[in-house]
Amino acid sequence: MKETIFLPETIIDAHCHGRDMKQKHKTTVSQTLKEALNGNISTTVFMPNTEPPITDLNTLSLYLGLIGQARISLALKNKQYLYFGVTDDNLSVCDDALKCDSVVGLKIYPKKVTTGGNSIGISKKETLKEALKLAATHGKVVAVHCDDPEVIANEGHTIKAEVAYLKKVIGCLRQVPRAKTVICHVSCRDSAEMILKAQRKGLKIGLEICPHYLWFDSDYISRIEEMNPGLGLSDLYHCYNKIRSRNNRHYLIALLRMNNPLIFIGSDNAPHSKTEKFQEKLGGLPTNQEMVAVVVTLALRLGISEAHLANLLCHNTANFLGIPVSIKTRKYKLVKKADDIEYNNGTVVNPWNGSELYFPIPVNNERKNYDH
C-alpha cells in the first residue's frame, strides 16, 4: 500500500448543506467550511434548502455574506459556491440569481402539488423544463434531488421513487438538449444505468456519488441492528435518498473506475442534532470530513491512478460547473486509522465512528501537475 499520494490542490465538494440562519444549532457556514478544511476540501458548493430557503435575492445576499465572513475568519483563498432554489413561482428571480458568479446553477426539489406556498421545491413538470431552459441560457446547470412525491405517498422512499423522478428529468432534458443537469446523491444501480444510458445518447447529465453510498449498505446496517437492537442504527443512518443494498453499493463503487467526465463526488454533508436524528428522525448524514478519505481508500483498493482520482475529486466537477481550478497537486501522507472525528464539537453524532479509512495528511509543499 502507498505511503504518500498526490491529490489536487483544489478539492471540490459538489454538494453540501451549510445550514446556519435559523438552523445554527445544526451547524453554521463557518463551522461547515472549517470541517471541510479538516477533510482536505478547499471548495464547497452549498445547497439552498436552508431555513429560510435560498429562493429569493435577499436570502441569497444574506447567505453570500455568511460565506464571505467565513472565508475571512478561516483565511480561505478559494471561492465558495452555491445553488439557488427553484419554486413554481420564482423563475424570474432565478434569472437574476443566475447572474451571480457564485451561483453555479439551480436546485430542484420535488414536492406534492398539495404542499402549496412558496417553500422550496416544485410540483409542476413545466417548472423543471423552464428551469433547464433558464440555466442553459446562462451557461449554468440544474441539480436535481430525485424522489417522486407520488411514489413516496404510496410506498415510501424506495428505489422506484428515485427512478420515477429521474425518468421525468431525462424526459425534460431531451426537450432541452443544450441544458446541463446533475442528478444528486445517486443511490442505486437502476438510476446509475439510466444516467449512463442518457449520457451515451448525448445528454449532458452528471452522476453525483456520495461517500455514504460507497461505504454503508442497508444489509450491514440491518444485520448489526438485529444483533444490537438498542443502537438505533436505522435512525442514525436515515437519509434521502436512502442507503441501499450491498449490491447497489458495489455497483456504485465500480463506477469510480470509469473514465467518465460526468461522474462527480459530493459529500451531501447534512448534519442534524442528536435529538433531531433519534427523536424527530430527520434524514441526513454528516459526511464532509470523510469524503476524501472514503474516495482515497476505495481508490487504493481499486488501483485507481492519481490522475483519475484528481478528476473525481476536482476536475470533473470544475469543468461541468464552470469552477476555475489549478492543475497542481499536493503531496499527502496516508494515515490509516479508525474514524473518531467530531462534528460541531460533538453536537452532531458521527455515523462514521470506527470506520477504518486512509486519511490524507498534508506533509509539505511538494507539488506536481497533471494534464487535464
What's the domain count of the chain?
1
Query: Is residue 151 in some structural domain?
Result: yes
Cβ neighbours of residue 125 under 8 Å, at least 6 residues apart? Answer: 168, 172
Cell of 286: 454528516
Residues spanned by the domain of 231: 12-307
Query: Is residue 167 in some structural domain?
Result: yes
Query: Is residue 110 in some structural domain?
Result: yes
Q: How far is CA 334 from CA 5, 129, 360, in A?
A: 7, 45, 5
What is the 8-class DSSP label of residue 121? B
Query: Is residue 285 in some structural domain?
Result: yes
What local confidence, expressed as pLDDT, does residue 2 receive? 83
Global pTM?
A: 0.96
Mean pLDDT by 10 residues, the chain (372 residues): 92 98 97 98 98 98 98 97 97 98 98 69 96 98 97 96 98 96 98 98 98 96 82 89 97 98 98 94 97 98 97 98 95 97 94 96 74 52
DSSP strands (E only) in the chain: 4-8, 12-16, 43-46, 81-85, 103-108, 141-144, 180-183, 204-209, 263-265, 328-338, 356-369
What local confidence, expressed as pLDDT, does residue 320 receive? 98
Query: Is residue 257 in some structural domain?
Result: yes
What local confidence, expressed as pLDDT, does residue 8 receive? 96
Query: Is residue 5 in some structural domain?
Result: no
* Coil, helix or strand at residue 4: strand
Q: Which amino acid is at 165?
A: Y
What local confidence, expressed as pLDDT, does residue 232 receive? 79
Q: How far is CA 152 from CA 67, 112, 183, 268, 346, in A?
A: 34, 10, 18, 21, 33
The CATH number of whichever domain residue 55 belongs to comes to 3.20.20.140
Query: Is residue 355 in some structural domain?
Result: no
